[in-house]
């Protein structure tokens, strides 16, 4: 599933993140690439150990923890510390699949990459190109969202970043290990949760049907979750 998540970062939070990362030194983006990605990748990135990147990443993780749509869609178990990249002057990232396991440099922390996430940190009208292009079971989808908005998609998807031909595309990207490994099961739970919320808005949270469907949701989660 590919799910846009609006307003992960509000205006003041976005400005704080940009102040932090814009004051840091950028390096070649291949510092975090695997062999396959290095052949396709041409961008700049903030070093994982940069204090500004770490502080901005914590701000993003705090914001994600307050976002109910993100929680419902991802059912996150572990989140890799957010990273930051930049594209300009024709830079791009060709077709690739994200590594199955991501290990944080210098630590034993590792994440099975079930889901990938991109948070756009620049206004879309400020640059040309830079669309995140994801090959899904429903065809190719291109994503270019307002600053502060995000998109969540399976890490197993073939995807690429189109060349940026004007301006500069700035984003945060990272990977998540979900409590639900299987994308199909995760989609079922997300659809069920969305239906329960709509039903509750119509009938009331205490209605017998809402309570019954909520029980079904949690029983499926209990059956499928690794937690």
Domains of the chain, earliest start first: 3-178 (2.60.120.620), 183-224 (4.10.860)
Q: Give dist(CA 67, CA 206) in Å, integer.
A: 23
Confidence (pTM): 0.93
Q: Give dist(CA 15, CA 17) in Å, integer.
A: 5
Question: In whole numbers, what is the pLDDT of the chain averaged over residues?
Answer: 94
Say how far residue 151 (Cα) sits from the centre of its chain. Answer: 5
- At 137, the pLDDT band (50, 70, 90 cuts) reads confident
User: What pLDDT score was predicted for residue 40?
Assistant: 81
pLDDT digits (tens, 9 = 90+) for 85-130: 999 999 999 999 999 999 998 888 999 999 999 999 999 999 999 9
Q: What are the angstrom distances between the C-alpha of 220 and each of 58, 199, 217, 225?
A: 31, 18, 5, 8
pLDDT digits (tens, 9 = 90+) for 177-225: 999 999 999 999 999 999 999 999 999 999 999 999 999 999 999 999 9
SS3 150: strand
pLDDT digits (tens, 9 = 90+) for 18-55: 999 999 999 998 765 555 556 688 999 999 999 999 99
User: What pLDDT score was predicted for residue 111?
Assistant: 96
The C-alpha angle with vertex 92 and arms to 87 and 94, in degrees rounded to 5, equals: 150
């Amino acid at each position: 599933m590919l799910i846009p998540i609006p307003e992960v970062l509000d205006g003041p939070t976005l400005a704080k993140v940009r102040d932090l990362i814009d004051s840091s030194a950028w390096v070649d983006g291949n510092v975090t690439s695997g062999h396959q990605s290095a052949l396709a990748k041409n961008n700049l990135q903030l070093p994982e150990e940069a204090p500004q990147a770490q502080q901005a990443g914590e701000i993003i993780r705090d914001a994600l923890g307050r976002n109910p749509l993100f929680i419902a869609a991802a059912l996150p178990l572990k989140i890799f510390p957010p990273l930051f990249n930049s594209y300009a002057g024709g830079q791009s990232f060709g077709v690739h699949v994200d590594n199955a396991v991501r290990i944080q440099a210098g630590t034993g922390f590792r994440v099975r990459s079930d889901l990938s996430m991109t948070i756009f940190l620049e206004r879309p009208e400020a640059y040309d190109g830079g669309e995140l292009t994801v090959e899904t079971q429903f065809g190719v989808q291109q994503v270019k969202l307002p600053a502060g908005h995000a998109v969540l998609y399976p890490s197993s998807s073939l995807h690429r970043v189109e060349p940026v031909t004007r301006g500069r595309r700035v984003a945060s990207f990272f990977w998540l290990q979900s409590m639900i490994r299987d994308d199909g099961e995760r989609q079922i739970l997300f659809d069920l949760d969305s239906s329960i919320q709509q039903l509750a808005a119509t009938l009331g949270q205490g209605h017998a049907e809402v309570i019954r469907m909520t029980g079904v949701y949690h029983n499926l989660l209990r059956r499928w979750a690794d937690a």
